[in-house]
Amino acid sequence: MVAVTCSACIGGGGEETTTPAPTTQPPTVANVLPDGMDAQWKTFFESYDFDGDGVLYTYDMYLGRDDAEVDFATMTGGAFRNMTAEISDWDPIDVTDTASDTVVSKLYSGLVQYVPGTTDPMPDLAVAWEANDAGDVFTFYLRQGITFHNGEEFTADDVVFSWERLQNPVYASARISFLTNYVESYRAVSDYVFEVTLKDPFAPFLTLMTYTCFKVLPEDYVSSSEVVGETTEEGVTKNWLYFPVGTGPWKLKEYVSGDHLYLEANLNYWAGRPYLDEFRYKFVEEDDTIVQAWKAGQIDVCGIPSQYWDDFNENYPETLQTVSELATYFMYFNCGAWPFDSLAMRQAVTCGIERASVIDTIYKGRFMPAHGILPPGIFGFSQELYDSYEWTYDPVKAATILDNAGIVDTNDNGIREYQGQELQIELSSYVSTTYQEASKVWIDNLADLGIEMTYQQYDFGTLLQSADEGNYTIMTLGWIADYPDPENFFMLFETANIPDPNSSRYSDTEYDAMCQDLRTNPNTEERLDLSYDLEAKLQYDCPYLWFFHSRATRAIHTWVHGYTAGPMGPHVEKQLGIWLDEDYRTT
């Protein structure tokens, strides 16, 4: 067993957890651990309470729900109603959007899942796991007696098949690198043992396993229903696609393209059936339509568009649920080209642009000003660094930095020069009314500093192409965590990742070395120290102009109970625990 703390045993992605003392001791072992497990790892699983309900894991009958509160007789029934964009893909290895993930994450399961409402990993199709001392070989012990929705038995061969699909370039998965970057090999040791060998130790490996592309499909059903070409040009014909079969707590009941999708409860789910009978999605994207449907009681949950923010806070405050997301939005500088190859320029513009006041006014105070790349709630976030941030709005400091660097106005026309060229730059953005309003403030800020900035919006594809090609000076974008570990944010600045995802073209050998250490080091305390040092370096070097960390606010009717939306978003949640007041159990 790796000699690290329990937080690293379950992935190293969150704060170290103290297991609550069990309050109940059920008579039946619910999660059977194999006899062949390493003794120390077995002890860990036997003594850990993953979901914090006071029941130790091996006795936790309803993992992910509070066993003491489970009452199917009084809580079961009804349909949860939602409006969303239409699902764009049913294949887990192709899902990259939240609308699709919302459905696919309920139909399929992986080896590891999140504790509901958190970023902590806990067992799913794997009843337990262990790692060797080097941290580069993981052995997953699979649950026995699990069946897919069509009755096929789940075994390690299904895991191998699903991973081979992800790895096969003919499938052209956008997430192929999640496997090929880190995994050397994998195999079915037996029907219920799956082994993974990593290329190098990778501290966030277990949290990576929660990602949608690692969900497990039934080999016999899928392989007999698709035709795999020889080349990426030939591709794959997936005849099973609209008839998905997984092991998740929900099964597909009905799908009408362009209109709606209904899921029904899997009554044979290994952790107990969901309380709800159905999950219903109506395909609607217009904000006004969704809000009016919620107000009319036709749906149970909705997001809060900016134009309705005051309305909901004044008239429906008791329905609002706000969750900090693992996301950071920013403007990044092109550090590889004029004028932001200059540290002084990056620091001065960072100090010269208002962010906090823009968040309070244009964004109505919905978000938290960012002082670095790591969002609050993720392992490695430092409140000390956040509070001591030196580069908040200070136009006097900004002017002083430029003056001291010799970046001055030499001809008294109000525009400073750098390397003999007047500072005339463009801020590029995706299409956004709020960014358009904010840009007016920032243009005035920089004009006062002696920098002439224009603002231009582009469609998202064009914006990303410009980022890859380096054809920009400042650009607005954001990063939402793929998996909840600081490495997933810090890797944005590694030299090896230029131009994608390191479109800022920031490059520093000391930073690269620390980031590699963070990636491979299993020691929790050392990873905390590395995260602190990496964040401090980014704060000083200013490759990005930090803007805000997002918070998602949703309105949930008071007749709904148990709805979970953690920092990774509601789309990753299985929603086993939602139940409705009896008078609202729509059929």
Print pLDDT tens along the chain (587 aa). 322 233 334 444 444 344 444 445 555 789 999 998 999 999 999 999 999 999 999 999 999 999 999 999 999 999 999 999 999 999 999 999 999 999 999 999 999 999 999 999 999 999 999 999 999 999 999 999 999 999 999 999 999 999 999 999 999 999 999 999 999 999 999 999 999 999 999 999 999 999 999 999 999 999 999 999 999 899 999 999 999 999 999 999 999 999 999 999 999 999 999 999 999 999 999 999 999 999 999 999 999 998 899 999 999 999 999 999 999 999 999 999 999 999 999 999 999 999 999 999 999 999 999 999 999 999 999 999 999 999 999 999 999 999 999 999 999 999 999 999 999 999 999 999 999 999 999 999 999 999 999 999 999 999 999 999 999 999 999 999 999 999 999 999 999 999 999 999 999 999 999 999 999 999 999 999 999 999 999 999 999 999 999 999 999 999 999 999 999 999 999 999 999 999 999 76
For the chain, domain boundaries: 6-238, 324-550
The number of beta carbons lying within 10 Å of the beta carbon of residue 460 is 10
| Helix (H) or strand (E) run with residue 539 in it | helix 524-541
Biggest distance spanned by C-alpha atoms of the chain: 85
CA distance linking residue 272 with residue 529, whole number of Å: 41
- Omega within 30 of 0 (cis) for the link into 501: yes
DSSP alpha helix (H) spans, 411-557: 433-449, 460-469, 487-490, 509-520, 524-541
CB 10 within 8 A of CB 120: yes
3-state DSSP call for residue 147?
strand
Q: Which superfamily does CATH assign the domain made up of 324-550 to?
A: Dipeptide-binding Protein; Domain 3 (3.10.105.10)
CA distance linking residue 217 with residue 344, whole number of Å: 53
CA distance linking residue 20 with residue 119, whole number of Å: 18
Sheet with 126-131, edge to edge strand ranges: 126-131, 137-142, 193-198, 183-190
Q: Which two tokens stand for residue 559?
A: 């007749």
What CATH class has 6-238? alpha beta
User: Which residues touch 360 (CB under 8 Å, ≥6 apart)?
Assistant: none
Residue 165 carries which side chain, given as an amino acid letter?
Answer: R
Place of tokens 């100090």: 351
pLDDT at residue 521 in the model: 94
pLDDT at residue 27 in the model: 56
CA distance linking residue 336 with residue 547, whole number of Å: 21
Give residue 185's Cα distance to chain centre: 25
3-state DSSP call for residue 303?
strand
CB 541 within 8 A of CB 508: yes
CA-wise closest residue to 370 among 533, 532, 549: 549
CA distance linking residue 559 with residue 239, whole number of Å: 40
